[in-house]
Amino acid sequence: MDSASAPAGLPTRLIVVIVICMMVAATSMHLYTSMLDVIAQEFGTSTRAVGWIPTATTFGFVGGVMFLAPLGDVFDKRRLILFQSSALALTLALMAMANALWMLVLGSFIVGMSASTSQHLVSVTAQLTPSARRGSAMGTVLSGMLLGILCGRLLGGLISGALGWRAGFVFGALLVAAVLPFMLRMLPSARGSSQLSYARLLGSLVDLMRRYPVVNRSSRVQGLLGVCYGGFWATLAPMLAADHHLGTAAAGLFGIPGAAGVLIAAPVGRWVDRSGPAPAVLAGSLLVLAGYIAFAFGPWMIAALVIGVMMLDFGIRTSLVANQTFLIGIEPEARARVNMLLMLHTFAGNGVGAFLASQAFAGWGWLGVVTVGVVSATAAALLHLRWRAGMVAPG
């Protein structure tokens, strides 16, 4: 099935396949979020040093989004998805045998690049869905990513707590390998429509941002919210160990309230279909800020962390669904590249947030992490208020 023969709406079977693929990609990226403390203990290293693992994963994802995702405008996205998923399974298996921290950091970078296949899945969804229902479809597909994040953090913490962190990577490799045959059989072909060479494809990004300033502006807002998201999850496990004397299993359990966004992704998509993206982006930014205000009480109350992580996830997903649904419909022939620009800012923000929060935690404790998040969320809300009048579809 290609774009020329796409039905009026995505069939249920195809939606299920895409959601599962999104779950697997997200799970592989977040398996070791709750294993960082155990990894640091085994290699005898510091919280600051082990913070390079999630940072490398995020920047690997950014590299995949930047250099691999645009290929979806030219090549068959199905083939790209299968190739990157195979590389993902192999890398996770090799990471289970790592005997030095630098190996895990390198492997994390490759995992991030391979897991960027999720962006091809987003483009497939947009390509095969009518514009009037695109928000709802995007929200449903992004729910798969949220479930994957939940599974990754929860299972990573539980498996590493019971069997060690190496078993967590083995599980990830087996999970991707088990899904590959279903991808091969059921994913449809979705050919790109651009005739540009790879060099011209990348070079066209500057032209896209010049012709559509809203792409650049919305991406910056989402990037600032990404700083909040990456910063919290990179420092949660060390904070729980230092302030509450809890292990990796407890950090993994935070994935349950942390996946609260799965409950609202599809409703937000329908809201965007009806009312446009601007109100949802503002609501998301304010929810993230409220989440960090709750985090400030985290060293004394676990309940504050639970409430805060729910608001954080609600906010991030609300803003992402709104921005992604709007931007990916701006120019049909450049969906992959426009989505790439948005996700490049988002996950670069995650990486910067992981780095800044890890440094802040090492120097000033949890108060430093909260400060990073409050500043970033406030900046996102103010910039959106300044630019939201421009969030209209090109004439």
Helical axes 117-127 vs 52-67, angle rounded to 10°: 40
**Residue that wins the pLDDT comparison between 65 and 367:** 367
C-beta of residue 216 within 8 angstroms of C-beta of residue 222: no
Q: Which of 28-32, 87-91, 179-183 bottoms out in mean pLDDT, i.e. has the lowest? A: 28-32
User: With 60 as the cut, is the pLDDT of residue 134 above it?
Assistant: yes
Least reliable range by pLDDT among 166-175, 214-223, 280-289, 335-344: 335-344
Q: How far is CA 186 from CA 170, 182, 189, in A?
A: 25, 6, 10
> Which stretch of 21-30, 93-102, 302-311, 327-336 has the lowest confidence by average pLDDT?
327-336
pLDDT in tens, 297-306: 989 999 999 9
Tell the CATH superfamily of the 9-390 domain: MFS general substrate transporter like domains (1.20.1250.20)
> In the prediction, which pLDDT does 194 show?
67
Assess contact for 148 and 175: CB atoms under 8 A. Answer: no
What pLDDT does residue 10 have?
64
pLDDT exceeds cutoff 90 at 137? no
284 has a pLDDT exceeding 70: yes
Using CB atoms within 10 A of its CB, is residue 31 exposed (0-12), middle (13-18) or buried (19+)? buried
For the segment 186-243, what is each residue's pLDDT rounded down to a tens digit?
A: 887 777 666 677 777 777 777 888 888 888 889 999 999 999 998 998 888 888 888 8
The pLDDT of residue 56 is above 80? yes
pLDDT tens by residue, 366-387: 999 999 999 999 999 999 998 8
Region 127-144: mean pLDDT is 73
Q: Which residue has the higher pLDDT, 257 or 59?
A: 59
- Report angle CA 314, 320, 324 to the nearest 5 degrees: 155
DSSP string, 58-103: HHHHHHHHHHTGGGGGTS-HHHHHHHHHHHHHHHHHHHTT--SHHH
pLDDT at 63 over 80: yes
On whether the CB atoms of residues 63 and 112 are closer than 8 A, the answer is yes
Higher pLDDT, 395 or 89: 89
d(Cα 107, Cα 66) in Å, to the nearest integer? 18
Q: What is the mean pLDDT of residues 87-105?
A: 91
82, 30 in Cβ contact below 8 A?
Answer: no
Distance CA 316, CA 256 (A): 16
What pLDDT shows up at residue 241? 82
The fraction of the chain above a pLDDT of 90, given in percent, is 27
Does 8 have pLDDT greater than 60?
A: no
133 pLDDT more than 90: no
Mean pLDDT of the chain: 83
- pLDDT for position 2: 40
Which band of pLDDT confidence, cut at 50, 70 and 90, is reported for residue 105? very high
What is the pLDDT, as a whole number, of residue 1?
Answer: 40
Residue 6 has a pLDDT of 38
Rounded Cα gap, residues 109 and 88, in angstroms: 11
Tell me if 228 sits within 8 A of 356, measured CB to CB: no
pLDDT of residue 308: 93
DSSP 3-48: GGG--SS--HHHHHHHHHHHHHHHHHHHTTGGGHHHHHHHHT--HH
CA distance 72 to 337: 8
Range among 28-37, 85-94, 95-104, 261-270 with highest mean pLDDT value: 85-94
Task: Calculate mean pLDDT across residues 259-278.
Answer: 77
